[in-house]
Structure 1
Amino acid sequence: MSNAKDVTDATFEADVLKSTKPVIVDFWAEWCGPCRMLSPILDDIAAEHSGKVDVVKLNVDDNPATAAQYGITSIPAVYVFKDGAVAATSIGAKPKQVIEQEFAEFLN
């Protein structure tokens, strides 16, 4: 069971852009092997930092408008949104400790 909530083109604004805390968005697709490798890492981060950040997943195949709006051309792409804007990005599957270092200011 995933700790990350699924968001769509229709719910992105309410769930991500209007959130009162930082939101880590995993732009992914079902066919993407590295995305599947990254998913449990983001689930762990969601569970361990649930009070500080929200972690959500957006399937780029099912939600092309949001993916296009943010110029997603490579997946997995992990973006941190804070106050309705992109605050940090990470492209590609990386070990948990690397992601936690990249996004440390939002997790601590």
Structure 2
Amino acid sequence: QDQLGITETQAVGGTGALLQLAKNELGSSTMSALTSKASGLPGLSGGNSGLGDSLLSNISSMSGVQSAFSALGMDSAMIQQFVPIIMGFLGDQGVGSSLLGQLQSLWAPAG
């Protein structure tokens, strides 16, 4: 939040959008492994982001993440500023490199 100069709602919502994409793409068992390592994550992928569950639960592609960022009043370019911060946090929490690699490729900019 402080690193990007955004509100807490934007930080939580943006992170939640990326995590929801990961959950939909990688499956809930992978996400369980992730959230068991990173204790702060379960709350971020929930509906307490101000966006509501319906918007977050439908995220199945980066375009859905972009829509969520737009709904939060952020430019889609912000997504690539969130990714290294989340990846750093997950690495610090002891998330394995294979799982980090899956997330990195999932969240990589299309193009």
Q: Which has the higher helix share?
A: 2
Task: Say yes or no: TM over 0.5.
Answer: no
Question: Relative contact order, CA 8 A, sep 6+: which one is greater?
Answer: 1
The TM-score, its normalising length taken from structure 2, stands at: 0.31
The TM-score, its normalising length taken from structure 1, stands at: 0.32
